[in-house]
């Protein structure tokens, strides 16, 4: 039996990402990705194991790209400016990785949990959430010297809820005024602070 031709997995993931963004996750089939990349069905199965794993790994790559960028942006700041950097990460992400942005913020992780996913892939799907929670605890600790649920909730408002409402849901990622609104809203939440213990 001939061995599958070698290929760059990122080429396959790029094609899967483009299909998912343009036509929805259901459009990501091994046959469609093979047609888009000229990589054989067999080679894709050999690398990814199944359609479910291919789709999950496409989302995982987008999630890790976002988390790495957010960490990079936050690491250059302290205090409120670090929280603002974390909040604005989705806009920076959209500028660098437009397709990954659409995939990461529009496809729910729960929609990727096919029955044939291995436990290791399921664990990888959960990792970005754990990374985000660790970042929120770190920011809360730096600002208020506490990382309890109420402090983390205030940071969640700043780096999840506000960017979603101001930039993502209204498709204003590239709007400089919307980003100013986001910064002002984050500063206002931080000024009020978390609910007292």
* Cα radius of gyration rounded to whole Å, the chain: 19
Provide the Cα torsion 106, 17, 123, 135; round to 10°. -60
Q: What are phi and psi of 190, to 5 degrees?
A: -65, -35
pLDDT tens readout for residues 51-108: 999 999 999 999 999 999 999 999 989 999 999 999 999 999 999 999 999 999 887 7
> CB of 144 within 8 A of CB of 151?
yes
User: What tokens appear for 18 in the block?
Assistant: 């483009």
User: What tokens appear for 157 in the block?
Assistant: 């408002």
> CB of 93 within 8 A of CB of 65?
yes
Query: Tokens 């205030």 correspond to what residue?
Result: 154
Domains of the chain and any CATH numbers: 9-192 (1.10.357.10)
Provide the Cα torsion 17, 30, 28, 53; round to 10°. -70
Residue 85 pLDDT: 98
C-alpha distance across the termini of the chain, in Å: 66
User: What are the pLDDT tens digits along the chain (197 aa)?
Assistant: 444 445 688 999 999 999 999 998 889 999 999 999 999 999 998 899 889 999 999 999 999 999 999 999 999 899 999 999 999 999 999 999 999 999 998 877 777 667 788 888 889 988 999 999 999 999 999 999 999 999 999 999 999 999 999 999 999 999 999 999 999 999 999 999 999 98
């Amino acid at each position: 039996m001939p061995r599958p031709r070698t290929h760059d997995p990122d080429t396959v993931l790029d094609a899967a990402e483009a299909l998912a963004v343009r036509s929805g996750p259901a459009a990501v089939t091994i046959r469609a990705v093979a047609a888009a990349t000229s990589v054989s069905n067999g080679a894709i199965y050999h690398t990814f194991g199944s359609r479910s794993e291919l789709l999950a790994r496409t989302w995982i790559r987008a999630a890790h790209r976002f988390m790495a960028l957010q960490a990079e942006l936050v690491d250059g700041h302290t205090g409120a400016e670090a929280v603002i950097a974390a909040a604005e990460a989705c806009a920076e992400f959209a500028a660098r990785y437009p397709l990954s942005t659409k995939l990461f913020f529009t496809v729910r992780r729960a929609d990727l949990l096919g029955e044939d996913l291995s436990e290791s892939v399921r664990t990888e799907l959960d990792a970005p959430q754990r990374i985000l929670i660790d970042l929120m605890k770190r920011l809360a600790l730096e600002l208020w010297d506490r990382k309890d649920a109420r402090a983390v909730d205030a940071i969640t408002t700043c780096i999840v809820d506000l960017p979603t409402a101001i930039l993502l849901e209204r498709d204003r990622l590239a709007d400089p005024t919307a980003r100013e609104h986001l910064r002002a809203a984050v500063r206002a939440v931080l000024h009020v602070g978390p609910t007292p213990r």
